[in-house]
Homo-oligomer: A and B are copies of this chain.
Amino acid sequence: MRNLFMKVTYDGTNYDGFQTQPGGNTVQDMLERAITHLTGEVVKIIASGRTDAGVHAYGQPFNFETTSLIPLERWCLALNARLPEDIVVTEAHEVPLTFHSRRGAKRKTYRYTINGNRFPDPFQRRYQFHHPVALDVKAMEQGLKPLIGTYDFTSFASRKSTKASHVRTIYEAHMEIDRSMCRPDSTDQGVIHTYITGSGFLQHMVRIIMGTLIQVGEGKRRPEQIADILAACDRAAAGPTAVAKGLALWNVSYEDAGN
C-alpha cells in the first residue's frame, strides 16, 4: 500500500465546494472519480480541509492510499486527463503511511481578492469581489493587526460551526495592491489581495473577517473596533460574510514538507 500526497488547483465556480455531498458535484467527487477511473480502486481522499461552494484553491493538498504501481511522475498528467479543465493536479509525492493531509497541516494561507477599480474585470469576474467605491486600505491593514495571535474567533465564525473550540492562531496577515490593471488617469484603486495565514480556520472565518474589514475600509467601522468585535465572542458583533468568489485557499504547509 502506498500513501500518495498531491496538490490540486481549482476554479471553484462550478462546484458545490470541495467536500463530497449527495449531489456529487464537488471537487472531491471529481478527484475520486478520476482516481477510480485510472486505478480501478474506490478511494476516499483526505484533504487539508474543505472549501465552500464557489471558493477556489491554488494549492489544496490531499492524500489517499492506493495499491496502484503507477510511477509518481505519471500521476498528474494521468489524473488531469480524467478531470474537467477547471481542476488541475500539480504535484504528486509518496509519503509515509502515517501522513494525514488534515491532521498534519500546520499553516494555511487564504487569499481574498477585491477589485477596487471602477469597472469589473471580465477576465477575473469569477475570482474577485468588485468594490468600485474607494476603500481606506490603510485602515483595513490596521484592522487586520488585532487579529494576529491566538484568540477565540467565535465572532468571526459561522453560527453553524460545530467545532468544540473556536480558538485559532493567526500567524500573519497582510495586504498587497496590484495596480497593473488600473487605467491611467482614473480613480482606480487597484486589485487588493489580503493574505491571512493561520493554524486553521473556522467555517466562513476568512470571509467574515473580510466582510468586517470591508466595512472598516468603507468608514462604517473604525479599525480599533476589531479588537472589541473579537472580544465579544458573538457573531452578531462582526460584519457580513464576504462573497465566496473572492476567496482562494492559497497554500498549506506541513512540518516536514516545508512548503
| Chain A residues packing against B (C-beta within 8 Å) | 9-11, 56, 76, 80, 85-91, 118-123, 125, 127, 183-184, 259
> Secondary structure of the A side of the interface?
loop
Per a CB cutoff under 8 Å, which of B11, B76, B122, B183 touches A123? B11
Contact A119 B80 (CB under 8 A): yes
A and B contact pairs by CB, cutoff 8 A, 12 listed: A9-B119, A9-B122, A9-B123, A11-B122, A11-B123, A80-B119, A85-B120, A85-B122, A88-B121, A91-B183, A123-B127, A184-B259
Q: How many copies does the complex hold?
A: 2
Q: A80 contacts which chain B residues (CB < 8 A)?
A: 119-120
Contact B90 A183 (CB under 8 A): yes
* Distance A11 CA – B127 CA, assembled complex (angstroms): 14
* Distance A118 CA – B119 CA, assembled complex (angstroms): 33
Q: A9 contacts which chain B residues (CB < 8 A)?
A: 119, 121-123
Q: How far is the CB of A27 from chain B (nearest CB, A)?
A: 11
Per a CB cutoff under 8 Å, which of B91, B118, B119, B123 touches A56? B123
Contact B183 A119 (CB under 8 A): no
